[in-house]
């Protein structure tokens, strides 16, 4: 009996010794003031509270233009295209900013005339703003960037794919988040190379933008040794499609245009959407369509669901009640670039944000795989390009096997040795 009581007593002593550290910790915690027992989230909030609040202002400046309707009338151009992407980015910036005591303000300046845009730009500069996201035409962008009072501002162009803005007309205070036409064309040509589709036919529309797209295709085809076996303009009147027998006429026209040509892919340059959707299933020889219609190289696509982009798409859909476009995505990246810089530097000074965005340490997570950064020689954001149609993601360029000594994404568009950009 004594031996049993002794074993029980020794077991209790051993248990008490093992429990002593825990009891000591609990006793010490109990002695702490209530405010010092913090969760990690509360600790972050307390750190933020100890930091003076910073305000990061971003001006979204847009020339509101009357959109040209595509000939099909099926897809109405969103009136809020671009700015909704900026609004989503503001929410994303604010989510992190709450923990860092950083307050973000998006000043939406949307005006109907170039003169009103210029005046608003000058007013915001006079008020001290230096962080701008622009959605304006090329010539207006150059006018804004060339103003003497804008020399120390950072203008992130979210809209324009024009190669000249990354070349002879580049500016030291302008960056670009929209892929250039050269990048889009190279993304398409890389895929055609992988598929061994080396012979293409090119059909171009009448607008100046169609001509620029077609020129990018020609340059890229030469770069990747793809032969353009026929290069023809589209001359058919799109209004004829609305006639009672319009489908017969356009069938005849497309068949006539593509007859007697041996090609693998029909590439269309129709940025305005006047005729490109009418080419599929009507060619004289059954061939796929790519370019501005069909399989389209673009910054963003509705069917894209990789790299956690499904929740990103869902958040935008909930906010805007429509699907995200490339312009929305480009504006999102522009506003997020300022937010990323503020988060990483802990600064709100525009000069420090601009220096970080341009620097080697900048890395923007943008739901397309590896983080993105800007090319120092022309201000273009490096990024993969999606190849998709309305319902499916077909591929992502750069394609496997296209290598670069620094960044694989520099296989898309104008590389440093080819650049004609001399920052002004």
Q: What is the pLDDT of residues 126-162, one digit of tens each?
A: 999 999 999 999 999 999 999 999 999 999 999 999 9
Average pLDDT, the chain: 89
Of how many residues is the chain composed? Answer: 424
Report the pLDDT averaged over residues 260-267: 97
Rounded distance between C-alpha atoms, residue 336 and residue 329, angstroms: 10
Give the pLDDT confidence score for residue 23 in this predicted structure. 38
What is the C-alpha R_g of the chain?
Answer: 28
| Residue 7 burial (C-beta neighbours within 10 Å; 0-12, 13-18, 19+) | exposed
Give the pLDDT confidence score for residue 309 in this predicted structure. 96
pLDDT at 46 over 60: no
Instruction: Give me the helices (H) in 164-292, please.
Output: 181-194, 208-223, 246-258
pLDDT at 26 over 80: no
Phi then psi for residue 310, to 5 deg, are -60, -45
Q: pLDDT-derived band of residue 255, with 50, 70 and 90 as boundaries?
A: very high
pLDDT at 32 over 80: no
The answer to whether residues 214 and 269 touch, using CB atoms and an 8 Å cutoff, is yes
Tokens of 106: 């998006």
Dihedral angle sign, alpha carbons of residues 42, 44, 46, 49 = negative
Q: pLDDT-derived band of residue 49, with 50, 70 and 90 as boundaries?
A: low
Q: Which helix (H) or strand (E) holds 291?
A: strand 289-291
Report the pLDDT averaged over residues 83-94: 99
Q: pLDDT-derived band of residue 66, with 50, 70 and 90 as boundaries?
A: confident
Q: pLDDT-derived band of residue 87, with 50, 70 and 90 as boundaries?
A: very high
Give the pLDDT confidence score for residue 47 in this predicted structure. 55
Rounded distance between C-alpha atoms, residue 372 and residue 104, angstroms: 22
Tokens of 86: 């900026």
Rounded distance between C-alpha atoms, residue 364 and residue 374, angstroms: 10
Task: Report all structural domains of the chain as residue ranges with CATH numbers, in order of start.
Answer: 49-179+300-383 (3.40.50.2300), 182-298 (3.40.50.2300)
| Residue 245 burial (C-beta neighbours within 10 Å; 0-12, 13-18, 19+) | exposed
Q: Which helix (H) or strand (E) holds 90?
A: helix 83-100
CA-to-CA separations, 134 to 58, 111, 131, 175, 257, in angstroms, rounded:
11, 12, 10, 10, 39
Cβ neighbour number for residue 271 with a 10 Å cutoff:
22
Give the pLDDT confidence score for residue 182 in this predicted structure. 99
394-405: pLDDT as tens digits: 999 999 999 888
Report the pLDDT averaged over residues 330-351: 98
Q: Which helix (H) or strand (E) holds 61?
A: strand 54-63
Q: Which helix (H) or strand (E) holds 60?
A: strand 54-63
Give the pLDDT confidence score for residue 24 in this predicted structure. 42
73 or 230: which leads in pLDDT: 230
């Amino acid at each position: 009996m004594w031996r049993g009581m002794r074993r029980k007593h020794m077991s209790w002593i051993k248990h008490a010794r093992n429990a002593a550290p825990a009891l000591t910790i609990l006793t010490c915690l109990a002695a702490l003031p209530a405010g010092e027992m913090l969760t990690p989230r509360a600790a972050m909030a307390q750190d933020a509270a100890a930091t003076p609040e910073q305000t990061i202002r971003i001006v979204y400046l847009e020339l509101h233009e009357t959109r040209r309707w595509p000939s099909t009338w099926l897809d109405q151009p969103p009136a809020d295209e671009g700015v909704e992407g900026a609004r989503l980015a503001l929410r994303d910036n604010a989510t992190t900013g709450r923990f860092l005591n950083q307050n973000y303000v998006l000043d939406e300046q949307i005006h109907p005339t170039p003169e009103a845009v210029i005046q608003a730009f000058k007013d915001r500069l006079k008020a001290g703003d230096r962080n701008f996201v622009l959605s304006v035409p090329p010539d207006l962008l150059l006018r804004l960037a060339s103003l003497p009072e804008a020399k120390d501002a950072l203008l992130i162009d979210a809209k324009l794919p024009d190669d000249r803005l990354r070349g002879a007309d580049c500016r030291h205070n302008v960056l670009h988040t929209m892929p250039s036409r050269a990048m889009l064309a190279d993304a398409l040509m890389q895929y055609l190379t992988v598929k061994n589709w080396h012979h293409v036919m090119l059909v171009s529309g009448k607008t100046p933008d169609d001509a620029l797209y077609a020129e990018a295709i020609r340059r890229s085809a030469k770069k990747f040794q793809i032969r353009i076996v026929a290069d023809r303009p589209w001359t058919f009147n799109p209004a004829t499609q609305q006639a009672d027998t319009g489908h017969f006429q356009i069938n005849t026209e497309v068949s006539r245009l593509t007859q007697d040509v041996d090609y693998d892919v029909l590439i269309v340059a129709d940025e305005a959407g006047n005729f490109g959707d009418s080419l599929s299933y009507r060619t004289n020889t059954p061939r796929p369509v790519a370019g501005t219609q069909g399989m389209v190289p673009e910054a963003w696509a509705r069917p894209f669901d990789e790299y956690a982009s499904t929740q990103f798409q869902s958040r935008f859909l909930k906010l805007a009640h429509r699907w995200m476009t490339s312009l929305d995505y480009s504006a999102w990246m522009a506003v997020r670039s300022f937010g990323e810089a503020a988060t990483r530097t802990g600064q709100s000074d525009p000069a420090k944000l601009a220096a970080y965005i341009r620097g080697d340490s900048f890395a923007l997570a943008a739901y397309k795989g590896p983080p993105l950064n800007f090319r120092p020689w022309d201000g273009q954001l490096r990024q993969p390009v999606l190849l998709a149609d309305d319902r499916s993601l077909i591929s992502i360029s750069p394609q496997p096997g296209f290598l670069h000594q620094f960044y694989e994404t520099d296989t898309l568009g104008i590389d440093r040795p080819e650049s004609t950009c001399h920052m002004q």
